[in-house]
Every structure is written in structure tokens, then in C-alpha cells.
Chains A and B, each alone.
Chain A
Amino acid sequence: MSSGKKLKIEFKMVQQHIIHISPEFSLLEGESHFKRIRSEKISNVLIDCSAVSIWPSSACAFLADFIKRLNHRNIKWSLNSIPEDTLKTINFMLYRKPAATHLIKKDEIPVVDDTLSWVVTSWHNIVSTVKLLEDITFWTLLGPFFKHGFRYSRTLFEISERGMRSLGIVALVAGIMGLILAIQAAAQLQNFGATIYIANLVGMAIVRELGPLLAALLTAGRSGSAITAELGSMVASEEMDALRAMGVSVTKYIVVPKFVALFVALPCLTIFADVIGITGGYLFSTIQLGIPSSHYIDQTIQAISANDVMIGLIKSIADAIIIASIAVHQGLNTSGGAEGIGRSTTKSVVHSIIFIAIAHLFFTILFYFTGHTLKFNV
């Protein structure tokens, strides 16, 4: 029986296009092969690897990447002349599953975005720093009443380390600052024939602001960073865990001597910076400008009151608390080995400088509104 219609059968030969991988197979070579495959609309590829004798991981990764692109375009492929080990590597790169982790749900504060995460972290930092300060206050005030509650010899060593050894650098910077102030002031005051008031300007600026600020910044850079690095490396080498395992309070044993040392050393360094800074101004004024020595000294004594010195000291005590608590907090919360220690040390110095600036601004505003602002006794 004939249907009248001819059954037409088409035999379409699917031709396999051969790609020869060169011994120096690279992403670039993969790209050029891929471009050709797309332009010639090839649907079946035989990847011939017979020319490659050495298969470094990079070559496997390039080939896996090439195959992934073929898969993405639904282009059939097969591999020829590839060593078994290399095939295993490429199979791993193509079909590996993400590493399995055991996940559990925890009742946590949902972190909406990075900003909220930053706020939460900052809040945790503030809370832990306040707790640390509580602990430090307890051991500093009540420690001496306990047996082995206060390490006197270690505290003296720390005072020497944080204070005595900083004298040189403080003297250098404070002296230079006094000179600069005097030179700048001279340039202006000479126009009015008021060069004697250089003493007032240098004295007041150094005692009330620059002395405490200089001493604090140098201490943050020199001692704050050293404390953070020391505590950080103790954390990394499990020394803190060893102390805790022995039941010895880390705050009492390690932190308090450093804290007390800064508390004592920084006001002393501030007074020292004041004296050297004023001396810098004095030297310039007497030698260069010819102001009589006794006049300059009288003018300085007249300009600076005990109140001004106290204001400077209050600032330096606040600075000591800021530097010590930030340095200790960063040091104790170090994680991540050597890199972590570097990170903590940087944070310690940067945070200290920021908070010192804020504290000085706060005190300046406070003293301004309470009538203790900078005045010239003309």
C-alpha cells in the first residue's frame, strides 16, 4: 500500500571538531579556541591533549575553565590522551561540591547590613572596654590589700619603661615645638613691637594644650603600640590561656602594672614636655630676639597660673586612661597570628590618636564654657 507521500529520512553527520591543546596551554589559548568554536557553530569537540606532557595545577585549572565554558554553551566535548591523575584533578575542579559545614540556627541579632554590623561590633567593643576598666579599677585600688594582689616591682619596671625611656623623644619633640611656636609668634608680634608676649603665647599654648597633646601622642605611638604588641604576642603564644588555666587574673597580673605605669608616667612626661617646650621658646627669644632672660622668665611666670598646669594635667590623665585602655583592649583581643598583631597595633595607635583628639576637644569646650579658657594677662 502506498500512502502517496514519500518518507524522507535525513542522515546528518555530527562532526567532531578536534582541538589540539598546546604544551603551554593558557587561558588565552582557551579563549581563542572558544571564539573559533562559537564562530564556526561547532557543537561537538574532541580536546586532544597528546602534546602536553606536564600538567601543573594551573594548566588543569585553565582546561577546567575551558570545559566549563563549553558546558555553559551546551557544546559536547570529550578528552583524549590525558593522564589519569590529571583527569582526577580536572574532574575535581569541574564537579566538586562546596565544603560541607554543619550548620545550626542560633538566636542571634539579625545583621541587616554592614553598618548595623559595625554598630553592634563597636557596642561590644565599648562594653568589653568598660568591663576591662572596671576590672582594672578593682585590682588597682584593692589589689594592694590582697596577698600578691599588686606587682610593685613589675609596676616600677613598667614606669621606667613607659616614662623614663620616653624622656629623650619627648624632650626632642617638645623642644622643637617650643622653638617653632616662638619663631612663628615672633614673625607676627614683631610688627606690633610686642615680642615680649612670645613668652605668654609659648607658655600658655605649651602648658594648656601642646605639652599634654605631644606627650600623649608620643606615648600612644611608643608605649601604646608596645603594650598592644606585647599582649597580642602573649595571646598568640597562648600565654594568656596559660595564666587563665592557672586561675591567675590576666588583668591583675599583666594589665594593671602597665595601666598604673601609664597613669603615673604620662602626667610626669607632660610636665617635662612643658618645661622643655618653654625652654625652646626661651632660647630663641633670648638668643635670637635679644629679650632679656629675666624679662622672659618673669613674663612666663606671670602668664601661667597653677590652674593652667592643672588643666594640662587633667588632660594628660584622661589621655593615659584612653591610651592604656585602648592598647590593652586591642592587645587582649588580638587574633590571627603575626598579621593580627600588626593589625591590633595599628588600630591601637590610630584609635588612641582619634580619642585623644576628641578628649582634648571635649576639655577645651568644657573649660571654655566654665570660664577657664585661654586668656592673656596683658
Chain B
Amino acid sequence: MNKKTVIEVKNLITSYDDNVVLDNISFSTHEEEIFAVLGGSGCGKTTLLKHLLGLLRPDAGSISILDFDITKANDDEMQPLREQIGMVFQGGALFNSMTLAENVSLPLEEYTDYSTRVIRDIVDWKLHLVGLDHARDYLPAELSGGMKKRAAIARAMVMDPKLLFFDEHTTGLDPIMAAELDRIIVRLRDELNITVVVVTHDLTSIRRISDRAIMIADAKIIASGTIKEMEQSGDSRVINFFMQHDKEEQLI
């Protein structure tokens, strides 16, 4: 059965000053899949993610999310879509002046008329999903790196989005915590039937969770498909990326 397309990017071109960061990028993701954007540091992964979130505007090309062209939309038109999207930033991006519960409840308080009790129930449930029941009144500064990432997932999930983005979700975590986060991502996808887009250079994590992926290098997509299909790519840059990673894994 053909699954519905959730994100469709066509011929995306973007540049900073005169330097082209993304050159003719095209891909699509389907519902309930975990889609990965792979590539080395500085290849333009995070820039692509910011375009998908509507935080940056491309020079050319189109991005359609849930059948809505975001490249031509203004902030007001983006609003209904933003309520269906969750984003987990690299460092968590939690608001330092607020407790964990306040961070997680922020979107609910902004967009809904729910009573304080209902909001509290939802927030506690989301914190429970990521294993942070005990930390609801902690400030972000009192949390470890892994806890911050899990709290950021809870905040991203609080509006029950259809689409969830992750930026380098395993960066700065030990292998056990990274594996735990991967398990959480897969579980959320399975239980809540959401589409997940993960931007990372961590191949171990991608091998564990992704259904399909694209790899970006020199501003272009150099490989796409499942990880197995990508590993059989003839492109030397792809082979190097996989070999380098496997070598590092052996060293660890």
C-alpha cells in the first residue's frame, strides 16, 4: 500500500552570501517513516532542517509539508502547520528560566484553552513517556545532557504533532543514552504513528532507527534509499563515510 507523502522537497537551492549550501536538493518522506538526513559536519544538514521548519527561506525550489507549500507562506499562514510539527534541537533549546513542566506546557498554553489541570495531565504524561516524571519541577540547568534531550522530546510531542524533527539528537550523549533516545524515537513513531525526520552524522543511530535516508555532501544529495542501498553506492564519498564510521566504531 502506498503511503501518503508528508514532506516533498523539489529542486531546493539556498546560499549564504555567495556560497551555495544546498544545491538542487529533491526528496520526499512518507507518513510513519523515520527518515534520516546524513552528512559530515558543515554539509548543510541543519540548514536543510531550518528550511523544512520554515525558519529560513530558500533562493529557489519548493518545500511542501502536509500538502502545504511553506516556501510561499508567511508566518500567519504557517501557524496551523507549526502546531502539527515538533522540533527537537541539538542542545534541547529549553528555556532556562522555566521549569521542565513549564517548558513542556508552553505550546499548550499558547495554543489551547485547556484548563490548568488538563495541561498538567498532558504534561505529566509526556514527561512520563520520556521517563522524566520525577523531574517536572527541575530547571534545565539542573538536568544532564540526556535528560535535556528527553525533555525537549516531551516538549516537541506535547501538541501531538504529525511530524517530528530531530537535529543531531545523539550529539554529546554516551552510547547507552544515545541508544535509549533511539528506542524512544522508534517507540513514539510506532505508538503515535508520526513521521520522524532525523538530521545527524551518527551512522550507528541511523542504522538502528531509519527506514530511508539521504546523504548530503558538497551541497548535493550523493546517495539515497535504505542504509543497505546506500552502502552499495558506487560514490567514493559515500563509501568513505561508511568506512570511516566503521573504523571509529571498531576503535571504540
Contact = CB atoms under 8 A, between A and B. Distances in A.
Interface string A92-110: 0000000001111010000
Contact of B55 (A102, A241, A248): A241
B82 A238 contact: no
Contacts of A245: 53, 55, 82, 85, 87
A237 B82 CA distance: 20
B107 A246 contact: yes
A234 B91 CA distance: 12
Contacts of A101: 18-19
A238 to B, nearest CB: 4
Contacts of B109: 148
A235 B23 CA distance: 27
Interface in B48-78: 50, 53, 55, 75, 78
Contacts of A102: 15, 19-20, 23, 218-219
A239 B93 contact: yes
B112 to A, nearest CB: 10
A248 B106 contact: yes
B93 A238 contact: yes
Interface in B215-240: 218-219
Contact of A247 (B20, B83, B90): B83
A234 B98 CA distance: 13
Given A102-B19, A104-B18, A239-B93, A244 B110 contact: no
Nearest to B165: A245
B125 interface: no
A325 B132 CA distance: 39
A126 interface: no
A147 B114 CA distance: 12
Interface residues of B, number: 30
A238 B20 contact: no
A242 interface: yes
A241 B89 contact: yes
A241 B88 CA distance: 11
Contacts of A247: 75, 78-79, 82-83, 110-111
Contacts of B50: 241
Contacts of A239: 93-96
B31 to A, nearest CB: 20
B232 to A, nearest CB: 28
B19 A238 contact: no
Contacts of A246: 82, 87, 106-107, 110
B183 to A, nearest CB: 24
Contacts of B53: 241, 244-245
A102 B18 CA distance: 8
B115 to A, nearest CB: 13
Given A102-B20, A104-B18, A238-B90, A148 B95 contact: no
A197 B71 CA distance: 69
A148 B110 contact: yes
Interface in B9-27: 15, 18-20, 23
Given A101-B19, A104-B18, A242-B93, 4 more contacts: A147-B113, A239-B93, A239-B96, A242-B95
Interface of A: 101-104, 106, 147-148, 234, 237-239, 241-242, 244-248
Give me the 10 closest cross-chain CB pairs, A-B, nearest first: A247-B82, A242-B93, A102-B20, A238-B93, A245-B87, A238-B89, A245-B53, A247-B79, A239-B93, A246-B107
15 contacts: A102-B19, A103-B19, A103-B20, A104-B15, A106-B18, A148-B109, A234-B95, A238-B91, A238-B93, A239-B94, A241-B50, A246-B82, A246-B106, A247-B75, A248-B106
